[in-house]
Amino acid sequence: MEPLIDFEIHAAGAISGTCINRGLHTFSAAARFIKALPYGRNADKLNLSTVFTDNCGTCSTKHALLKLLATENGFKDLQLTMGLFRMNGRNTPKVATRLLQNGLEYIPEAHCYLKYGNEIMDFTKYNASPADFVNDLMEEVAITPAQITDFKVDYHKNYLKQWLTENAAVNLTLEQLWKIREACIQDLSA
């Protein structure tokens, strides 16, 4: 997927400077580069340049970096979005076994992506597509790059707490569900 937007990168900030130093002179070139990086957690989510030094990123760090790149270059219309979707074996095959082992059809998962107007762009991994999750979206909220850490986790846990209350047949505590979710994320990194 090509980005729906493109612009020349000017050294207007740390992320822009890093992109230029790596020969990435347009937003589309930077987006393709980021999308090609493997999925993996970063050493320091608060420092988005670790996506470059770790040579990997998550949906949160990759999209927050691209949002920051757009902001540094005066492109304000790109929105960083967190969506909660039903992560299941169909839309996320690598977690199918883990969910089955724990008697779960799905887990509400927080996923970050970019929106331009009503169009969703997902640069999480080389074959990522909004079609992977858009039909299973339960809720969306606009966030800032600074909110990919504590805010995202707190929002996600509060959502799961409410979901467990509304789904009494899921006989798990929040801590148990979060542990299963963390194992699913590890499965995605494998």
pLDDT digits (tens, 9 = 90+) for 167-188: 999 999 999 999 999 999 999 8
Contact present, 28 and 6 (Cβ < 8 Å):
yes
Summarised one tens digit per residue, pLDDT across range 39-49 is 988 988 889 99
* pLDDT score of 147: 97
C-beta neighbour count of 44 within 10 angstroms: 12
Residue pLDDT, tens place only, 4-35? 789 999 978 999 999 999 999 999 999 999 99
Grade residue 101 by pLDDT with cuts at 50, 70 and 90. Answer: very high
Kindly report the backbone phi and psi dihedral angles of residue 186, in degrees, each rounded to the nearest multiple of 5, phi listed first. -65, -40
Q: Read off the pLDDT band of 85 (50, 70, 90).
A: very high
| pLDDT tens track for 103-160 | 999 999 999 999 999 999 999 988 888 988 999 999 999 999 999 999 999 999 999 9
Question: What is the number of domains present in the chain?
Answer: 1
pLDDT, position 188: 84
Domain carrying residue 92: 1-190
Helices (H), 37-173: 50-54, 59-72, 96-101, 150-166
Burial 20-30 (b: 16+ CB within 10 A, else e): eeeebeebebb
User: What distance in Å separates the CA atoms of residue 14 and residue 118, rounded to the nearest whole number?
Assistant: 29
**pTM beyond cutoff 0.75:** yes
Contact 77, 115 (CB under 8 A): no
pLDDT tier at 1, thresholds 50, 70, 90: low
| pLDDT score recorded for residue 127 | 86
